[in-house]
Amino acid sequence: MAKELTTRTAQSVVVLERGIARKTADYALDMDELDYAVRLRMMQNIAEETITHRHTPTGNAVPVRQYGSFLPGSGVGGAGEHWNGAAWRFLPDLFTLRSHLTQKHGAAKLPADLAVQDWGVTYDQLEPHYWYGEQMLGVSGKAGNLRGKIIEGGNPVEGPRQHEFPTPPLKNSYLATIFADATKKLGYHPHSQPACNLSQTYKNPDGITRPACGYCGYCERFGCMIGAKAQPSNTLMPVLAQRKNFELRTGSWVRRIVHKDGQATGVEYIGANGEEFFQPAGIVVLATFTLNNTRLLYLSKIGVPYDFATGKGTLGRNLTHQAEGTTRLFFDKPLNQFMGTGALSMRISDFDGDHGLTGSEGLLRGGMICAYSFGNRPIGSFDAAPRGSSKTNWGSEWKAAAIKWRDRNSGISLSGEHLSYRQNFMDLDPTYKDKFGDPLLRFTLDWTEHEHRQRAFSDEVARKIARVMGATVDDTPPARGKYNVINYQSTHIQGGAIMGVNPDSSVVNPHLQHWNVPNLWVIGASAFPQNASHNPTLTVLALTYWAADAMINRYLKNPGKLA
Ligand SMILES: Cc1cc2nc3c(=O)[nH]c(=O)nc-3n(C[C@H](O)[C@H](O)[C@H](O)COP(=O)(O)OP(=O)(O)OC[C@H]3O[C@@H](n4cnc5c(N)ncnc54)[C@H](O)[C@@H]3O)c2cc1C
Ligand code: SF4
């Protein structure tokens, strides 16, 4: 948003970021797995601020003291610095999911606790903004649907694209190749994942040139030391650094959005030296990830908090994560999985959305089934031997098994849609506080039978594929446990400040403008009424460009409510 505003208008933009400044050169010296991937150097410091979690609206929440099922970033670029680089468009019907499911099944057949909604924006409206984002990032991939024509080798169920990807797909790993062969034999349609880890040198429309990826595998949880992965420090910051109307203040922790008579007047923040500041503003853009977008609206008393008991209110509702699960495979030869990149993955979308579902599975929506080649690093990929291969989890027998299986194991994973439910939401914790004494954000979140069924279904398909791949499959049944804040799943946390066409059921309007405070814009996956099977960031970007157009072309010319 800062780049759109500073390059397309004369507005002065101040960006307040509570973390540190970053540049590509910072990553060149010390790509240490222990430091970055295990001790989470680039993530939010949860000794200063964390969330609390409970499974039910009547349970007691407790603070998350060790990350965790998701990893919010901190510092310039946020988690966009240490992301994997998977850059997906969402399926067209996800944007009108309530209408789609009602039409397909009838309102009476939908679960009573289902909270999914239409977004107020359609895939066709976002398509040019997706394309703009893909060009900025240089996404590598192959179209599966080009202007309505289905192209072999691409994702056949994706929405129609007007353009081929800016760069060709990444090279395939050995695992990706045998997964593709096996799924083809079974009649599925394998395709590679769109990736911002460049397959070749690329210059974007802003004139930023980045090199091809070296498949080093130090990607997820790291910044790319050569800049092959699109990250704000190499795509946005070089452009912003040239703008005289742009200022970045790091170490600036925003605590409140100040507002009067339905207008935001600025923000209060604590600066790097602990001093308190008020920054006046004509427009406030809140872009602090799902968690703090929701929390800062609560703390600033903007909007009507969601009340689970009555179903009234909107702030905090429709918290979603992602339905995930992995079927573990073992091979009789090494896979060379130490080579890879954050978004290198072969997958099938034959069960994505409601494609391929017959009704007998008891599923409203499915997901993608994938084989990942992120690059197995020495610490993270150790100790992945089949169950029973060592009697102990220590000593020489265990070490021999761990070494033998280190590069002979892999997984087939589900990346599934997470529907929103009335009982999954965010609000302020009544007990626990952050380092300034402000209440923490409280998650009320648990899996439902739908996510358990998605996992079981994916496991069944994964076992079929694994057998054709020649792998031995771990016999552990798919997890049916409660939502677990300990094991990493993905940082795809959505909702809380959702978008929609009606102020009674959404926090922001279809242009991401707050319904009650027209000069406040809330940007990010907090706007998603439910989660796709796909990674969120390209959609966050497309929505940002869409909102920027509304702000620049309409609001700045005639300030007021746009819907
Ligand atoms: C390991 C990992 C891998 C991922 N891989 C992918 C992927 O492959 N594809 C994909 O689509 N997505 C991926 N994601 C998710 C992706 O990173 C996020 O969707 C994206 O970064 C969200 O962007 P954002 O700007 O909304 O929030 P963030 O990137 O989280 O940025 C928010 C910023 O706001 C700052 N902030 C928060 N509160 C305050 C405050 N009170 N005052 C001042 N500053 C504040 C934070 O410090 C942070 O820098 C991944 C995430 C992680 C952690
Ligand atoms: S795998 Fe590629 S994109 Fe990722 S850090 Fe290494 S060189 Fe960069």
Residue 330 lies in a domain: no
Ligand 2 neighbourhood includes 219 CB (under 6 angstroms): yes
Helix (H/G/I), strand (E/B), else coil: 393? coil
The residue whose CB lies within 8 Å of the most ligand 2 atoms, and thus the one to mutate among 32, 173, 341, 376, is 341
* Cα 201 to middle of ligand 2, angstroms: 13
* Ligand 2 atom at minimum distance from 214 CA: 7
Among protein residues, the one with the nearest Cα to ligand 1's atom 13 is 83
Strands 284-286 and 520-522, how do they pair? parallel
Q: Could you tell me the CATH number of the domain that includes residue 221?
A: 3.50.50.60
Residue 189 lies in a domain: yes
* Residue 366 shares a structural domain with residue 288: no
* Residue 186 shares a structural domain with residue 202: no
The residue whose CB lies within 8 Å of the most ligand 2 atoms, and thus the one to mutate among 36, 139, 229, is 229
* Residue 388 shares a structural domain with residue 421: no
* Ligand 2 atom at minimum distance from 217 CA: 1
Distance CA 348, CA 371 (A): 9
* Residue 119 shares a structural domain with residue 254: yes
* Residue 500 shares a structural domain with residue 452: no
* Ligand with the closest atom to the CA of 41: 1
* Residue 369 shares a structural domain with residue 433: no
Residue 172 lies in a domain: yes
Long-range contacts of 64-68 (CB under 8 A, 24+ apart): 64/485, 66/486, 67/40, 67/43, 67/488, 68/485, 68/486, 68/488
* Residue 345 shares a structural domain with residue 465: yes
Residue 560 lies in a domain: no
Radius of gyration of the chain (CA): 23
Residues linked to residue 224 through DSSP beta bridges, in sequence order: none
Distance, CA of 314 to chain centre: 22
Distance, CA of 483 to chain centre: 18
* Residue 262 shares a structural domain with residue 180: no
* Cα 27 to middle of ligand 2, angstroms: 11
- Catalytic-labelled residue, pool 53, 450, 492, 534: 492
* Residue 83 shares a structural domain with residue 175: no
* Residue 426 shares a structural domain with residue 551: yes
* Cα 444 to middle of ligand 1, angstroms: 21
* Ligand with the closest atom to the CA of 84: 1
pLDDT, tens digit, 9 for 90 and up, residues 398-424? 999 999 999 999 999 999 999 999 999
* Residue 180 shares a structural domain with residue 259: no
Q: Which of 460, 481, 502 is the last residue of a domain?
A: 481
Is the pTM here over 0.75, yes or no? yes
* Residue 386 shares a structural domain with residue 309: no
- State both tokens at 373: 């080649």
The domain in which residue 437 lies consists of 2-140+197-322+417-443+484-555
* Ligand with the closest atom to the CA of 221: 1
Residue 372 lies in a domain: yes
* Cα 79 to middle of ligand 1, angstroms: 3
Distance CA 299, CA 496 (A): 13
Residue 69 lies in a domain: yes
Based on the structure, what is the number of domains in the chain?
Answer: 2
Residue 145 lies in a domain: no
Q: Whole-angstrom distance between the N-terminal and C-terminal Cα of the chain?
A: 20
pLDDT, tens digit, 9 for 90 and up, residues 433-458? 999 999 999 999 999 999 999 999 99
Mean pLDDT in consecutive groups of 10 residues from the start of the chain, 563 residues: 98 98 87 93 95 97 93 95 97 98 96 97 98 98 98 97 98 97 98 98 98 96 96 97 98 98 98 96 98 98 97 98 95 96 97 96 97 94 90 94 95 97 98 98 98 97 97 89 92 97 98 98 98 98 98 98 97
Residue 284 lies in a domain: yes
* Cα 110 to middle of ligand 1, angstroms: 33
- Asked about 321 being catalytic, the answer comes back as no
